[in-house]
Amino acid sequence: MSLNPLTQLISERGFNRFQSPLRSRFAAYRLEYTLTYCEPTDNSAMRLDFESSLHLGRITVWESGACEMDILEISTGNNVFYESHQLNNEKQFHQTYLRLVIFMRDMLRLKSDNI
């Protein structure tokens, strides 16, 4: 048994079971979404890439529980969101990564409200 808290989610590709409902939800938020499992290593990772008309977002999470999230504003190239976390379990991952999604969703809503 692995000592890494997110082995099942990443190396065993447990995140795949959430893909259908997530794709629908993110499309409703006007976010394009790509899941990539990185090459296996001693601390394998997966990446979630998001794109909206305003931003590019990326979440990288490793089996060890390390997680980095950042968002770039397309028009300026500026980083407008960055967080780094150490997650202890899959539940924490699901609670944490939504912060990036909500930020991107809310920025789109703000823009459409100001038009």
Asked if 84 and 62 touch (Cβ cutoff 8 Å), the reply is no
84 — pLDDT class (breaks 50, 70, 90):
very high
Rg (CA), the chain: 15
Give 8's Cβ-side CA count (13 Å radius). 8
Q: Which residues in the chain belong to E strands, given as ranges?
A: 32-37, 45-51, 55-62, 66-73, 79-86
The Cα 74–Cα 66 span in angstroms is 26
Q: What's the confidence (pLDDT) of residue 115?
A: 62
What's the predicted TM-score (pTM) here? Answer: 0.92
pLDDT digits (tens, 9 = 90+) for 20-52: 999 999 999 999 999 999 999 999 999 999 999
